[in-house]
Structure 1
Amino acid sequence: MKEEQLKRAYEDAKAQYASLGVDVDQAIEKLNNLSISIHCWQADDVSGFENPDGELTGGIQATGNYPGKARTIEELRSDFEKVLTLIPGTHRISLHAIYGDFGGEFVDRDQIEPKHFQSWIDWAKKVGVKLDFNCTLFSHPKGESGYMISHFDPEIREFWKEHLRRCRRIAAEIGRQQGDPCIHNIWFPDGEKDKTVSRFAHRQLMKEALDDVFTEKISTDYLKDCVECKLFGIGSESYVVGSHEFYMGYAVKNNMMLTLDAGHFHPTESIADKISSMLLFVPELNLHVSRPERWDSDHVVILSDELLALTQEIVRSGHADRVHVGLDYFDASINRLGAYIVGIRATQKAMLQALLEPTRQLREFELQDKNFQRLAYLEELKSMPWNAVYNYYCQQQNVPVGDAYIQDVQEYEDQVTSKRV
């Protein structure tokens, strides 16, 4: 689409939204301030660099074998740099602990240090992104039983507590050097495939272990810890220690951030409705945007009703500044960079639609008991020209408009990823 056509379509859309009392320019500005935390593990199928040939265990599974996955830190960073040229806005990169720069040597997880991530910090500064962090609590011999930080063996619990301590220090150093708090996400896959009698005992051990780790106080100027729940996992279908109730209670009691993952609940349960409740009791929320298909399958995020409901609740709450948005999916069956672009753009498009909603007017309808008018507005909004606004935003940000990014991804595959054999 030519520049004048984009501009004309944008001006028409702007006028239509103005008639509803919506400031389109303000919506674009707010969208531009949305820094999505982009997950590193889509590009390499969650292999990492601790032991790239290791088998995924502990509730993690990547399906597919599309050629061209990143095999080294250099390839992973190259892929990120390409992705950043195809999406508007300024974003963050979320690292797992197994993605350290270990120099080809094996460093066990209770021995990792900030120095193993210094090259990531330097790279992030160079390309203009901030970093977030995740302790890696899966795919390790000390987790083969299904229990880790809630294991009955104190030596195994201590190993994972030490890993968690070190990850917090690494994240804090990242936050210190980048001048912005690093969000450190904690997800323990502890659980069991079949029935267990010792549910209380394992949860008590997990609580005591977390309490012990968090006795080390680190400034929130550098580090923001968050805990993430799960309904079930591969190999923990019957019982997950860190359930929603467990971590909701833990986060509320300790006044800390809670992570809600779109794939970690019952298939018919939306996390959108949880946002307004949890914001009343925790200081901030961290969202992992994913797409479950029948189970927590981490499909590529698309522009769906569920995603739109999520972004609407963020905006409608009036506390968008307390909600952090990150992606969490990995599809090895398609072009991995294409998967990034589709998911990131879908999340932005959903957020834009939410920002273009006349929320004040809709609330007025509710106060006046004009429920027909509210419903009519919500229906009419579905066919409003929000995409003309997004296309204009992309054009202003000098990134491909519409489907033009598809050719860029294909060219990168032809020239770069297809040669990774």
Structure 2
Amino acid sequence: MQPITTQQIEAGYALAKERYAALGVDTEAAMTALAAIPIALHAWQGDDVRGFESADAQLTGGGIQATGNYPGRARTADELRADLDQALRLIPGKHRVNLQAIQGDFGGKVERNNMRPEHFSRWMDWAKERGLGLDFNPSYFSHPKADDGFTLTSRDEGNRQFWIEHGIASRKIGEAFGKALGTPCVTNIWIPDGSKDIPVDRKSPRELLARSLDAILAEKLDSRYNLDAVEGKLFGLGLESYTAGSHEFYLGYAVTRKILLCYDTGHFHPTEVVSDKLSAALTFLDQMLLHISRGVRWDSDHVVILSDELQAIAQELVRGKYLNRVHISLDFFDASMNRVAAWVIGARSMLKALLLALLEPFESLRTFENAGDYTARLAMLEELKTLPFGTVWDYYCLKQSAPVGAQWLDEVKQYEKTVLAQRG
């Protein structure tokens, strides 16, 4: 691809800066604000959510499925870290990495209720060397004790206790991340528990879930090191009729226990939009976690693109001044395409949406709205769509030493040729 020169980028930006300034928008301030927003790259995009518990680990159960067989999947934690390094070089700004419990350096069989911080020491060393924060997720899937669709809601007390212990162990790992890296780890609990067909008892599993979560969260951890979150879902594969951990359940739980609520943008009905839910939940919650995905007719975890809904989410975060209260993470796993490219596309799309929102003349728009001048509000919103946002984005990438435009794709293709293709 023909590269654009630094001189061309700077000349285009000078014009764009003037256009935005005419509307009262400070492009420099917008880029400074964007540089302070970390996006957590979800490590499970790189290994198709298989993890490294064994050499032949497979993604099974729990309503999760990565589709496709594109070559180059990370087979070890070392390969995964290398792929993340490559992706992070192509994404402007300083970001984070979000891990699943199954992605440690285990060096042999380690049961999930016996996982310890030392199994993630290499991840901590890697993150510290690069100045990254780490987030964490217990893995309540792809395990014999989850094959019947029940973990924290299991009627088998021994099975339920196993998963409670896994949650407790995961929080201690998150705490260790926070202490080692100087930034709180968000430890997020999602479980698949539910029913394929219509249950007659919806109440009992939810009562068990509340008791199990209370047991996991019984020990108070310092919020400087660990932040707890719970994540609901509409349904999972093989669990279409009932999900114990629904959004209503977790909203009540998060509010009463004063922990974070996670909204995954793929975990709702296709006609629901998370952008409309943020201000409602944040009226009662101090902080939230956002998992940014893209569902196509269902929770299909497609790679995030710069869609209308993604822009609406970013607008809500900026307009509501929620950026310091919401933790943003990507959450998709597409095995039909280059996995490193998927990270880069998704992260850059999220950042573009945030920059677009930061370049809005929000106070002017709100003045129109408060005055009942909906004509001016709509006219301004439409005019903003054709302002030279792209040149501001290019300039931001230049200043952050990240590839401008689609130049990053050349680097990904080269990495695929020299590294990914060698994995067989």
TM-score by length of 1: 0.99
| CA distance in structure 1 between the aligned counterparts of 2:11 and 2:115, rounded to whole angstroms | 54
Question: Where does 1:335-346 land on structure 2 (aligned, <5 Å)?
Answer: 335-346=338-349
Corresponding residue for 1:145? Answer: 148
| CA distance in structure 2 between the aligned counterparts of 1:172 and 1:122, rounded to whole angstroms | 15
Q: Secondary structure at the match of 1:321?
A: coil
Q: Deviations over 1:105-124 (max 9, x none)?
A: 11010111111011110011
Identity %: 50
Corresponding residue for 2:52? Answer: 49
Corresponding residue for 1:71? Answer: 75
Q: What displacement does 1:56 show? A: 2.0
The answer to whether the aligner puts 1:389 opposite 2:372 as a matched pair is no
| CA distance in structure 2 between the aligned counterparts of 1:349 and 1:16, rounded to whole angstroms | 18
Preserved contact between residue 67 and residue 418 of structure 1 (Cα < 8 Å): yes
Corresponding residue for 1:259? Answer: 262
| CA distance in structure 1 between the aligned counterparts of 2:303 and 2:322, rounded to whole angstroms | 27
Question: Where does 1:310-325 land on structure 2 (aligned, <5 Å)?
Answer: 310-325=313-328
Equivalent residue in structure 1 for 2:92, among 77, 88, 101 = 88
Q: Secondary structure at the match of 2:271?
A: coil
Question: Where does 1:200-215 land on structure 2 (aligned, <5 Å)?
Answer: 200-215=203-218
Q: Secondary structure at the match of 1:93?
A: strand
Structure 2 residue ranges without an equivalent (≥5): none
Equivalent residue in structure 2 for 1:36, among 11, 34, 39 = 39
The answer to whether the aligner puts 1:99 opposite 2:91 as a matched pair is no
Q: What is the root-mean-square deviation of aligned Cα atoms in Å?
A: 0.8
Corresponding residue for 1:21? Answer: 24
Q: Deviations over 1:179-233 (max 9, x none)?
A: 1110001001110100111110000000011112211111101100000000000
Q: What displacement does 1:55 show? A: 3.6
Preserved contact between residue 53 and residue 103 of structure 2 (Cα < 8 Å): yes
Corresponding residue for 1:193? Answer: 196
Q: What displacement does 1:53 show? A: 2.4
The answer to whether the aligner puts 1:288 opposite 2:282 as a matched pair is no
* Residue identity opposite 2:160 in structure 1: R
The answer to whether the aligner puts 1:61 opposite 2:65 as a matched pair is yes
Q: What displacement does 1:390 show? A: 0.6
* Residue identity opposite 2:89 in structure 1: T
Corresponding residue for 2:158? Answer: 155
The answer to whether the aligner puts 1:115 opposite 2:106 as a matched pair is no
| CA distance in structure 1 between the aligned counterparts of 2:213 and 2:376, rounded to whole angstroms | 49
* Residue identity opposite 2:34 in structure 1: L
The answer to whether the aligner puts 1:250 opposite 2:253 as a matched pair is yes
Q: Secondary structure at the match of 1:203?
A: helix
Corresponding residue for 1:164? Answer: 167
| CA distance in structure 2 between the aligned counterparts of 1:129 and 1:178, rounded to whole angstroms | 7
Q: Deviations over 1:7-60 (max 9, x none)?
A: 011111111111111111000001101100100011111111113422421111
| CA distance in structure 1 between the aligned counterparts of 2:126 and 2:326, rounded to whole angstroms | 26
Q: Deviations over 1:68-92 (max 9, x none)?
A: 1111111111111111111110000
| CA distance in structure 1 between the aligned counterparts of 2:17 and 2:73, rounded to whole angstroms | 41
Corresponding residue for 2:306? Answer: 303
Preserved contact between residue 81 and residue 127 of structure 1 (Cα < 8 Å): no
Q: What displacement does 1:325 show? A: 0.6
Q: What displacement does 1:128 show? A: 2.1
Preserved contact between residue 83 and residue 340 of structure 2 (Cα < 8 Å): yes
| CA distance in structure 2 between the aligned counterparts of 1:56 and 1:188, rounded to whole angstroms | 14
| CA distance in structure 2 between the aligned counterparts of 1:371 and 1:327, rounded to whole angstroms | 34
CA spacing shift, 1:163–1:276, aligned 2, 3 Å: same
* Residue identity opposite 1:16 in structure 2: R
Preserved contact between residue 59 and residue 65 of structure 2 (Cα < 8 Å): no
The answer to whether the aligner puts 1:414 opposite 2:403 as a matched pair is no
TM-score by length of 2: 0.98
Preserved contact between residue 275 and residue 316 of structure 2 (Cα < 8 Å): yes
* Residue identity opposite 2:94 in structure 1: T
| CA distance in structure 2 between the aligned counterparts of 1:170 and 1:2, rounded to whole angstroms | 45
Aligned residue pairs, count: 420
Question: Where does 1:344-355 land on structure 2 (aligned, <5 Å)?
Answer: 344-355=347-358
Q: Deviations over 1:305-355 (max 9, x none)?
A: 010011001111122110111000011001111111111110000010000
Question: Stretches of 4+ moved more than 4 A in 1?
Answer: none
